[in-house]
């Protein structure tokens, strides 16, 4: 294990125990088994440490989401299965990173204060991946999204459903209830995506309708 990994492991441990405001460089250095000067060689401040662990959590969440989506696709899941699996993996990874901390709400709020740019960057990356997943699944299963929404518009609604779930569960706790309700909301949205009718199945109906509509010779003045 390299010194940077050891420092980030120690940083996460300290922040979980003490929250952001009561944590210090000295506590992190002690937990990492380093001197304060050695730690400063890698990170210039407590805020820099905090940003580094936030970035690490997001990268882990992206990797977990991609793995879950790939597994659901390989298993032949529908759109709801695939998106619910991906979102559950993403949020579970984030929750696990701070599991057991009595300072969850403080850490989440400080996240937006000290790393809002990271939050926005990763929000865009999550959205980009979800749009790609929806587009791929729609093509594969020949789906029509509800209200003729584009994959990007539908992805935005899915993300909004996650934020709605968060509003009912401060700091995403209790985690099991939050994840369950979030998955239900995602699946409910996806239930509106229906399989497109194939042109082959429509062709005989069109021919039949045309035959019925064809006027007889007697009605147009011809001989019976």
pLDDT in tens, 101-123: 999 889 989 988 999 999 999 99
pTM: 0.83
Task: For residue range 57-108, list pLDDT tens digits in order.
Answer: 999 999 999 999 999 999 999 999 999 999 999 999 999 998 889 998 899 8
Mean pLDDT of 45-55: 95
Whether the Cβ atoms of residue 50 and residue 12 lie closer than 8 Å to each other: no
Quote the longest CA-to-CA distance of the chain: 108
Phi and psi (nearest 5°) for 58? -65, -40
Q: How confident is the model at residue 197 (pLDDT cuts 50, 70, 90)?
A: low
What is the four-CA torsion angle of 49, 51, 56, 61, rounded to 10 degrees? 150
């Amino acid at each position: 294990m390299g010194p940077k990994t050891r420092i980030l492991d120690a940083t996460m441990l300290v922040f979980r125990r003490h929250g952001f405001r009561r944590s210090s460089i000295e506590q992190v250095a002690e937990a990492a088994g380093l001197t304060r000067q050695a730690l400063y060689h890698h990170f210039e401040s407590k805020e820099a440490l905090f940003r580094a662990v936030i970035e690490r959590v997001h990268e882990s969440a992206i990797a977990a989401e991609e793995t879950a989506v790939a597994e659901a696709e390989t298993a032949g899941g529908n759109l709801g299965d695939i998106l619910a699996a991906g979102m559950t993996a993403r949020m579970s990874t984030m929750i696990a990173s701070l599991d057991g901390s009595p300072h969850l709400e403080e850490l989440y709020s400080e996240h937006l204060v000290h790393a809002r740019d990271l939050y926005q960057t990763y929000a865009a990356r999550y959205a980009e991946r979800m749009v790609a997943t929806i587009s791929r699944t729609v093509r594969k299963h020949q789906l029509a999204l509800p209200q003729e929404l584009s994959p990007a518009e539908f992805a935005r609604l899915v993300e909004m459903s996650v934020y709605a779930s968060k509003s009912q569960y401060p700091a995403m706790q209790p985690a099991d209830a939050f994840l369950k309700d979030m998955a239900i909301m995602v699946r409910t949205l996806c239930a509106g995506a229906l399989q497109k009718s194939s042109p082959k199945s429509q062709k005989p109906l069109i021919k039949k309708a045309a035959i019925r509509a064809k006027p007889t010779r007697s009605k147009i003045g011809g001989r019976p």
